[in-house]
Amino acid sequence: MIRSVVRGFGAALPKRVMTNREMEDVVDTSDEWIVQRTGIRQRYIAGDGETTSSLGEQAARAALDKAGLTSADIDLIICATSTPDNTFPATAVNIQNRLGMHHGFAFDVQAVCTGFVYAVTTADAYIRGGLAKRALVIGAETFSRILDWNDRTTCVLFGDGAGAIVLEAAEGEGTTADRGILTAHLRSDGSHKEKLFVDGGPSTTGTVGKLRMEGREVFKYAVGMITDVIQAAFDSTGTTAEDLDWLVPHQANRRIIDGSAKKLHIAPEKVVITVDLHGNTSAASIPLALATAAGDGRIKKGDLVMLEAMGGGFTWGAMLLRW
C-alpha cells in the first residue's frame, strides 16, 4: 500500500522576539502570571515585509533543502492558515509563485489551530489516491495582526511563524512498522463557535476583525477532545502510549498539554514542548515543534510520533505517523 512519508522539514520565524517583560509595557499583565497560566515566556511578532506567505516560503524552502528536493519535484502545496495574505487568492498560491513553481496545484486549508493536522491528512489522501507524488504541507500564521492588543486575556497568548514538511509517496506493507502516516482522526463541532472566533469577515462585517476567546470554556473542553482523538488513533492501529516515542501537540497552553498527556499516561519526557519559545502560533504550531525536535535530533527515523491539535470552531484531530 501507499504511505505518505516525511522527507523533509523546515521552519521560519519573524525577526522580532517579544518577551513577557515587554508585554508588561503593553497590557496589565506580568511575566509570572503568563508563565504560570500558559507556560509562554516569549513569542515572535511579524514586522514590516513579513507576511504569512513570506514566512511560509522560508519554511517551505528549508523543508525542500532538508529533503534534497526543489519546487520542481513538488506536485501539490497545501497551506494551513487562518491569517491569509488576501481574502483570495490562497496563500498557498502566493507561496507557489514565490517558489517559482508554475505547475501542479495549491490551495489553503482553514481549520484554525487544527489546520496543520487537517492539511497533512488532506495531502495524504491526495498521495494515496494517486493525484500527487510529493506534497509540500505548510502551516503559516501572522496572528499578531488579528489580535486586540488591549485584551490582556488573548494578546499574550499568540505569536507568528511558519513550519513545513515534504511528504512523498512510498510503498508500505500495511503494518504499523511502515514509515509514513498510519492513521488520522478529524473532528469538528460548530456549536462552539462563540467560544473562540474572529469577530469579522468579508460577508458579515466587511472587516478582518479581531480574535475573541472565552479562555475558561476552551480549556474546559480541550483535554477531553484531545484525548478522544488520540485514543482513537491508538485504537485504530493497535498501539498504546507505551509504543509512542513522541507526542507533538499543538502548542497552546502548557497546562492543556500536561493534562492531556497525564490522562493518556504518556510520559512527560515523550512530549515536545515549544510553547515557551513560540507561544500559540495556531496552524504553524505543530510544524514548528516538529522542526525543533527533529532538528535537534530528538525525533529520529523510525520513531512513532503522534500529532494532535484543537482549534476554534471547535475543530480537533490527531495523527499517528512513523518518522
* Residue type at 182 in one-letter notation: L
Whether residue 313 contacts residue 192, with contact meaning beta carbons closer than 8 Å, is answered with: yes
Tell me how far apart the alpha carbons of residues 51 and 47 are, in angstroms, rounded to a whole number: 8
Q: Does a cis peptide bond (omega within 30 degrees of 0) precede residue 287?
A: no
Query: What single string gives the DSSP state of each residue in 128-148?
Result: HTTS-SEEEEEEEEEGGGG--
Q: How far apart are CA 84 and CA 80, in angstroms?
A: 9
253 is catalytic: no
CA 11 to chain centre: 11
Any idea what DSSP says for residue 271?
B
314: how many CB neighbours lie within 10 A of its CB?
Answer: 23
Q: How many other C-beta atoms lie within 10 A of the C-beta of residue 5? A: 20
Catalytic choice (185, 192, 250, 278): 250
Give CA–CA dist 117/249, Å, rounded: 10
- For 279, the enclosing helix (H) or strand (E) is none
List 113, 155, 185, 278, catalytic entry = 113
- Is 113 designated active site? yes
**DSSP string computed for 91-120:** HHHHHHHHTT--SSEEEEE--GGGHHHHHH
Whether 155 sits among the annotated catalytic residues: the reply is no
Gap between the Cα atoms of 310 and 323, Å rounded: 22
All three cell numbers of 11:
521552519
Cell readout for 23 is 508585554
Active site residues: 113, 250, 280
